[in-house]
Amino acid sequence: METSMWISLLATGVIAGTPILFAALGEILTERAGILNLGVEGMMLVGAVTGFLVTHSAQNEWIGLAMATVAGGLMALIHAFLCITLRANQVVSGLALTIFGSGLSGYLGKNLIGVPLANTFKPVPIPGLSEIPVIGEILFKHDVLVYISYALIALIWFFLFRTKAGLELRAVGENPAAADAAGINVFATRYACVIAGGMLAGIAGAYLSLAYAPSWLENMTAGRGWIAVALVIFGMWNPVRAFFGSFFFGTIDVLGFTMQTLGIQIPSFFLKMLPYVFTIVVLIVVTRETKTRRVASPEALGLSYNREER
């Protein structure tokens, strides 16, 4: 391929990876607090349909994004109540929310299929940075939500590893009983992280319907929520590594279109499989790597906490 085509592929990979990145950053916060959220896909779908519906009604994409964020947070609140307050099985709760989100989004969006959207997030090149050869074209000629995702990577990393609140959050995910004994409010911390994770999943869904492919299609997330959950493991619960993972999966996602442009004859079904095949392969490799390096998930991940059993 020519250099320009490589640059175009990588730039498109950043765009395609952005919704996965938003969802993965939210899941990192959630899992660092010890809660497993398998409802990311459903939260993304509800965020996507809410963002599209509100934007179409209000004629303002920022209002649509805000409401998508709220919708994702409300979905996460259900998960938090079930898993933290009622101590329900976190896997079952997450799967139920994915099914619920798929059905709810399909119902809310049944009259929105094929409806054009006038207000969307359009590319806004950053002066100066966008003129840097190669790097500028790949990273700095996108819409504002892509730039927000860059900022979130730095903010979440700094919060988790350089602040007292981040240390307390990680303590809750590792040993909630010890954190509770030290005066940390385990339940409030977990609630906050789960809701924040759901809000980011809502933004991820809204990015799909308001920026990536401005439209509404039933189940338009196409499994990206599951890739985001896998990406957390790939990134070893680190926001910076999650960025590179999302960039990688985004590039793989759009690689099929580039191959078709080059005239390479490959069945479309195989091309659609590529991101998920690579997800499985990467999970196998990373799982072996974490065992070698003794890098493990948060110790209390997936476990409910009961103060009476402390």
Q: Residue 110's pLDDT is what?
A: 92
Which sign, positive or negative, has the C-alpha torsion 200, 201, 203, 207? positive
pLDDT at 241 > cutoff 70: yes
Cα separation, 293 vs 310, whole angstroms: 31
Which tokens in the block code for residue 120? Answer: 């969307």
pLDDT at 1 > cutoff 70: no
Q: What is the 3-state secondary structure (H, E, C) of 179-236?
A: HHHCCCCHHHHHHHHHHHHHHHHHHHHHHHHHHHCCCCCCCCCCCHHHHHHHHHHHCC
Query: Each residue of 39-81: pLDDT tens digit?
Result: 999 999 999 999 999 999 999 999 999 999 999 999 999 999 9
This prediction's pTM: 0.94
Instruction: Please state, rounded to an integer, the average pLDDT across all residues of the chain.
Output: 91
299 pLDDT tier (thresholds 50, 70, 90): very high
Domains in the chain with CATH codes: 1-293 (1.10.3470)
Query: Each residue of 149-202: pLDDT tens digit?
Result: 999 999 999 999 999 999 999 999 999 999 999 999 999 999 999 999 999 999
